[in-house]
Structure 1
C-alpha cells in the first residue's frame, strides 16, 4: 500500500472531479477567473499528482474580461465514456446576485492533455453540472436556481437526457431531489442495481459536507442516507475543514476512493482563515451491508493520511515548453506577447503595464499558487517609472479587493505635497508598500531606492503574517511592518469568495499603457509543514 497525504493537490484546487481511465486517474478542478481554464492533474497511484494540461478554449473567445471576482469557470465535471473524455462546466458571470447569469458548456477530447473540441452550450439550469453515461445514453445533472423573490437559489437537483450527437435535450427535465439543507454539486454512479446521487451539502464553507441519496431508477424517487458521508462541520479541530463536493471512483482492484475538496485553516484572532483556498483531497470508501458508501475509517471525518493501492512504475514526464505555462496563471485571459514578453530579453519577463490591480478587464499580472502556510517569494525587477501612474513589482494576491503589493514607482520630491504633478519630470523612485482589503486602500510604507539598476524584492509568509523586504548592499532590508496575510482568504470580509492566495509579478501604466518593466529570477518557495504523529500537521504562525 501507498500512504497519500491530503491535500494531494495543494493550494487553490477546488471542486475536484475524479475519473479513472485504465491505470490513470485524472482530476479536473475549478479555475474561476483564472487562466489556464480547468486545470487537469493526473496520477497512477492517487498519492503523487502532476499537472497534465487544461481545457484550452473552455471560454469562448478565451476571455473572461469583466467577469467579477470569483466568477468565471465553476465546478467542472470530468467523465469518460469508454472512448473519449467529456467535460461539462458553467461560466458564471454574476456573483452574489439572485441571477447567476450563467452558461453551461460541454467539450470532449480523446486525450486529457490533448485538443478539446469547441465548447457547445447545453441546458443551463444552474451551476455544478455533471454528465452521466448510462448504457449509451447521456444525462445532464444540474442544480436548479429559482431567482424569483421568495425563491430558493438552490431549488433542487434536476436531470435532463441529452442527444449524444447534438447535445439537444431529449424529453422533459426531471426534478430528482429537493432538501431543506442546501444541496448542490450532483454526481451519479450506478452500482448493484442502485443509482447513487452524490451531493455537496451545506455550502462551500465550514458547514460543507457530502450527502448521498439513491434510487432504483435514474429519474427517482431518491431517498437520502440518514447521515453525511463526509463532513468536518462538527469538529473545528480537524486539520482538514470545509470537506465536501465529492466524487466516487472504483480502483482496478475493486476498492473505492472519493475525491473531495478541503481546506487547511489558520487559527487567527479573527477566527479560522483558509489562505490557501480549497484544495483537493482523497479518502478511501467502503460499502456497508445495506449498500450505502462509508468512509473506510468509519465516521464522516476526513483523514490526512490514507492508505491506497500501490503502483511502482513511474509516470513519464509531461513536457512544458512554453515559458509562461503552468504553474503561471493569469487573470481573465491567457498571457499574450503584447503585454508579457519572454523573447526580447532572454532570461527575463517583460511586462507592459496596463490597467490597475482593481480592473476586471486588462491587468498585466502573472502569478503562482501559494500552496503552504510558510512561503517565500522573490524577484528582481528593472524599470524606470516616470509618474505615479506607472508601477511594477511583487504582489500577494487574492482578488481585486484583497491584495498586498510592493511596487517600484514614482513619487513627488521629498517634502512636496501629493498633487499629481508628474509632468514636471522631477521626482524620486520609491518602493511603495500597499495593502488593500474590502474597506480601504492604504499605503503602508514608502522607501527611496536607487533604481539605476535592478532591484530585488521579496516577501516572507509565515502563517497569517507577511513581511516584505528588498535587498540593499546584499542585505535584506524590511519594508514596513508585518501585514495580515489572512485577509487574503475566502473567509475575510462579507463577499462570496471562492479562490485562494497567489504570489506573482505585475505592472501598470494607467495613462499610456506603454511603460515596461523587466523581471528575472522569480522564485516561490512553499515549505510543507512538519508531520506529527497520526498525520496531523504543525504550522507555525503568528496571531
Structure 2
C-alpha cells in the first residue's frame, strides 16, 4: 500500500447498502444504493477519495407511494448518471414479485445538485428492473435494464435490453432492443455501459445475488452490439472462495479518476460463518481495476479484497456521526429511515430533545407502520433509547426493535396486560410466528431500554432484567427468504435495522416519546 494516498478498507459502506451505482463529477464521487421498502428512497453518499464517504441523504422523499409494497419490494438498483450539468437517477419501484410475475415500473428523476431537490418522477417502462442511463458522446442517451419473463418453464431473466431516452421530452423513444443474452452463469441483470478507447463496455451482474454472484464484462465496437464476453470473465466473484471475508461479490459499476485510474464499486456480504447468514445484509465495497494490453478490465485475482490501494488522491475523511441522537432539530439525520412512508408531521415530529411517534399499524399491514430505524453496521453493537409511553390496552405498544422485515423482528417494548398494567417484555416474530417472552416487568411509563448484538446473539435488557439470548441470525437475507415449491414468496434483500417503533392497533394513534437514542459499536 502507498503511504501518500487514502487506503480503501472494505466494505466502504457497511450494513445495508446494496447495488451500488458509482459516479464521478469533477473531483467529487457519488454512490447511490438500493433502499427497497425504506424511506427516503435511494441512499446517496459523497466522497473525495473513494475511501471515506459521507451520507448525503435520500433522493426520493415525496415522490414514492410504497403503500402495500412487499417486503424487499420498493426501490431496487438505482442508476446514477450525469450529463450537461444535470444528475439523472433511474430506479425501479417493485410492486410485486411473488408467483412468478414481476411488476417493475421504472422511473427517472433529475436534479442540478446531488443535494436536490429532485424532480417529480417521469415514467419509463416496466419490462424489467435494474435500470441505468448511458449518455453517449453524440448527445444521445439510452436506458438499459434486464427483461423479466413470468412464463413457467422459462428463465425469469431474459437478458439485457436497451432503448433510447429523450432527455428533453423525458420519455423513451423507439422500441427496446435485445442487447446481451448473458453467459451460462444466468440471471443476467444490473447493466451499466461505458465507453473507453473506441469500445463500449457492458458490465452486468450474474449468478444471482447470493454465493455465486459475479461481475461479467462484454464489449462491442458498436453501441447496439453484438457484444462479446470477456474470455477472462468473471471480472469479480467470490463464488469459489468460501474462505474470504467478503462474499456474494457482484453487481458492480465502474468509475475513472481524473488521473486515469479505474475502480469498481460492487455489493458484498459478510456472513457470520463460512456461507452462513449475513445479518448486516448486502454492503458496498470498492476494488482497484487495471486493464490488459488488449483492453479488458482486471481485478487482482478476480476476487474481492478487504484492503485496497486507493487512488492517487489525498485522504479526505469526514466527521463521524455522534453515537447519541438527542433529536435537537426538527429533521431526522441522514442515518435514519422510515418504513414504507415518509417522515411527515402527521405521525412523526422531532426537536427539542425528543422524537414523538404516533402509534401506527401492525407490521403485517405493510402500510401505515410507525417505525424509525437505522442500519446495523457492526456485528457487535449496543442500541438503547429512553421510551415514554402510557398504554391502556394490550393493543398499544412501543419500544426499540431489531428489525429485518414484517415477518422477522424482535421488539423490546412497553406494553400492557391485565396483571401488571404497563410493563416491559419482549415480543418476537420469526417467519410470521409471534412469541411473547417474559418476565413482564411493571413500569411507570418511562423506561431506558437496551438491545445488544454480539455476532449471532441478541440480548434485551431493562434495568437489571435481561431477556434472551435470542437468535439474531433470523435478521438476515438468508433466513428471510421463503419459497413456494422453489418460487420465492418473500425475498430477503435488505439487512438488519435497530429502530424506534410505536404501534396502536385501536386506531387511536397513541404517541410514544423517544429520547437519547444511542448506537455504540463494541470495541
Same fold (TM over 0.5): yes
- CA shift for structure 1 position 314: 4.7
Query: Does the alignment pair 1:402 with 2:408?
Result: yes
TM-score, reference length from structure 2: 0.92
- Please list, as runs of the form range in 1=range in 2, the aligned pairs for 1:331-410 lying within 5 A after superposition: 331-343=339-351, 346-410=352-416
| Secondary structure, counterpart of 1:442 in structure 2 | strand
Structure 1, unaligned stretches of length 5 or more?
414-426, 529-543
Query: Does the alignment pair 1:88 with 2:81?
Result: no
- Contact 1:385/1:429 (<8 A) preserved: yes
- Contact 1:428/1:448 (<8 A) preserved: no
For residue 182 of structure 1, what is the aligned residue in structure 2?
187
- CA shift for structure 1 position 95: 2.5
Query: Does the alignment pair 1:13 with 2:17?
Result: yes
Query: Does the alignment pair 1:284 with 2:292?
Result: no
In the alignment, the residues of structure 2 paired with residue 98 and residue 463 of structure 1 have an alpha-carbon distance, to the nearest angstrom, of 35
For residue 329 of structure 1, what is the aligned residue in structure 2?
337
- CA shift for structure 1 position 289: 1.4
In the alignment, the residues of structure 2 paired with residue 209 and residue 527 of structure 1 have an alpha-carbon distance, to the nearest angstrom, of 32
- Contact 1:347/1:520 (<8 A) preserved: yes
Q: Measured at CA, do residues 111 and 503 of structure 1 come closer, stay the same or move farther in structure 2, by a change above 3 Å?
A: same
Q: Measured at CA, do residues 523 and 315 of structure 1 come closer, stay the same or move farther in structure 2, by a change above 3 Å?
A: closer
- Residue of structure 2 aligned with 1:45, choices 37, 42, 49: 49
For residue 540 of structure 1, what is the aligned residue in structure 2?
none
- CA shift for structure 1 position 82: 3.7
- CA shift for structure 1 position 316: 8.2
**Higher Cα Rg, which structure:** 1
In the alignment, the residues of structure 2 paired with residue 23 and residue 387 of structure 1 have an alpha-carbon distance, to the nearest angstrom, of 57
For residues 217-269 of structure 1, the C-alpha deviation after alignment (integer angstroms, 9 at most, x for no partner) is 0111111113200001101110000110001111111110110011111018x
In the alignment, the residues of structure 1 paired with residue 439 and residue 103 of structure 2 have an alpha-carbon distance, to the nearest angstrom, of 42
Query: Does the alignment pair 1:482 with 2:488?
Result: no
User: Quick check: 351-360 or 373-382, which moved more?
Assistant: 351-360
Query: Does the alignment pair 1:431 with 2:428?
Result: no
Q: Measured at CA, do residues 223 and 321 of structure 1 come closer, stay the same or move farther in structure 2, by a change above 3 Å?
A: farther
Query: Does the alignment pair 1:201 with 2:196?
Result: no
For residue 515 of structure 1, what is the aligned residue in structure 2?
510
In the alignment, the residues of structure 2 paired with residue 110 and residue 488 of structure 1 have an alpha-carbon distance, to the nearest angstrom, of 38
- CA shift for structure 1 position 199: 0.5
For residue 120 of structure 1, what is the aligned residue in structure 2?
122
- Contact 1:390/1:410 (<8 A) preserved: yes
For residue 241 of structure 2, what is the aligned residue in structure 1?
235
- Please list, as runs of the form range in 1=range in 2, the aligned pairs for 1:244-263 lying within 5 A after superposition: 244-263=250-269
For residues 42-82 of structure 1, the C-alpha deviation after alignment (integer angstroms, 9 at most, x for no partner) is 0000111001132134x64x431100000001000001114
For residues 330-361 of structure 1, the C-alpha deviation after alignment (integer angstroms, 9 at most, x for no partner) is 01111122221225xx3121221121133201
In the alignment, the residues of structure 1 paired with residue 281 and residue 433 of structure 2 have an alpha-carbon distance, to the nearest angstrom, of 23
For residue 65 of structure 1, what is the aligned residue in structure 2?
67
- CA shift for structure 1 position 457: 0.6
- Contact 2:160/2:180 (<8 A) preserved: yes
- Contact 2:78/2:92 (<8 A) preserved: yes
In the alignment, the residues of structure 2 paired with residue 8 and residue 393 of structure 1 have an alpha-carbon distance, to the nearest angstrom, of 31
For residues 431-482 of structure 1, the C-alpha deviation after alignment (integer angstroms, 9 at most, x for no partner) is 121221115211122322231x5211101100000010012xxxx4212x20
For residues 345-394 of structure 1, the C-alpha deviation after alignment (integer angstroms, 9 at most, x for no partner) is x3121221121133201111111110011010001111211110011111
For residue 454 of structure 1, what is the aligned residue in structure 2?
446
> What is the Cα-based RMSD across aligned positions, in Å?
1.9
Q: Measured at CA, do residues 55 and 267 of structure 1 come closer, stay the same or move farther in structure 2, by a change above 3 Å?
A: same
- CA shift for structure 1 position 322: 4.4
| Secondary structure, counterpart of 2:473 in structure 1 | helix
In the alignment, the residues of structure 1 paired with residue 461 and residue 329 of structure 2 have an alpha-carbon distance, to the nearest angstrom, of 32
- Contact 1:433/1:445 (<8 A) preserved: yes
- Please list, as runs of the form range in 1=range in 2, the aligned pairs for 1:217-232 lying within 5 A after superposition: 217-226=222-231, 227-232=233-238
